[in-house]
Structure 1
């Protein structure tokens, strides 16, 4: 393996889905394009968590955008981290902001935002947005591409 992956514990390994976000291990790799201004986008259109009151499943379309600094998130660890919410009870706002903060703490990116587009609960969709600050000048940040709720698809 390359020196970029020397310290990874999940990539290339059979790794079970963590039982909770607290147990999930997010990993990072050095950014081979450090110093360049570019945007990375992860889209998770089938995110699930549990309502903390009823235990019923909640569903969201997540879009995570970030401008890397010295680090990139390793994508398998991100998939496992997001999957760990499947049996986790938390409100939409808590899930969305917790994911953004955990990534920002791990990566120290130049900028990061997350959009959580939640499907209706009780007939009302809830959209949650969080970012680390203003968008740095000179970077193209496309629209997240998730329309306002109209029977999301």
Structure 2
């Protein structure tokens, strides 16, 4: 494998500032050197934060993103910066979760992508948001996302 596939990356290996908004965040990708193989890639962000658009109060979520790459892989530092850009972004849980998934799906063109947004309770109600691009390829092992349903004080 040649290092040439990494030549266009601008954020990896140096200091980068946190984007002020998700729209400003720049995702980066590299060619998938194993594009002939179907496999699952999982990113887990257990400390995702955004803001309530009405109150400005912080909202917290545990995000799990699974995707079966096609021709492209997401560069993980750019993904981390993209997710961090939501820190000062006001949007409802559903909008944040689906916006992340749609942007990744449009940018990468994966064979399959799903997201689980497990939001911590606000006002006593947890909100979980799930989305996927279609059916998962049959020849790919995708484990359970491993996030238990919210049980409160049980």
TM-score w.r.t. the length of structure 2 is 0.96
CA distance in structure 1 between the partners assigned to 2:10 and 2:151 by the alignment? 41
Structure 2: segments with no counterpart, 5+ residues: none
Residue 148 of structure 2 corresponds to which residue in structure 1? 147
Aligned equivalents of 2:102, 2:94: Cα separation in 1: 12
Q: What does the per-residue CA deviation read over 1:70-128, in whole Å, with 9 as the maximum and x for residues that have no partner?
A: 00000000000000000000000000000000000010000000000000011000000
Cα distance per residue 1:113-153 (max 9 Å; x no partner): 0000000011000000010001111111100000000249x
CA–CA distance in structure 1, aligned partners of residues 151 and 15 of structure 2: 39
Equivalent residue pairs, number: 152
Structure 1 residue ranges without an equivalent (≥5): none
2:99 equivalent in structure 1: 98
1:128–1:85 Cα change, 3 Å: same
Matches within 5 A, 1:1-153: 2-151=3-152
* Backbone CA RMSD of aligned residues: 1.2
Q: Report SS of the residue matched to 1:112.
A: strand
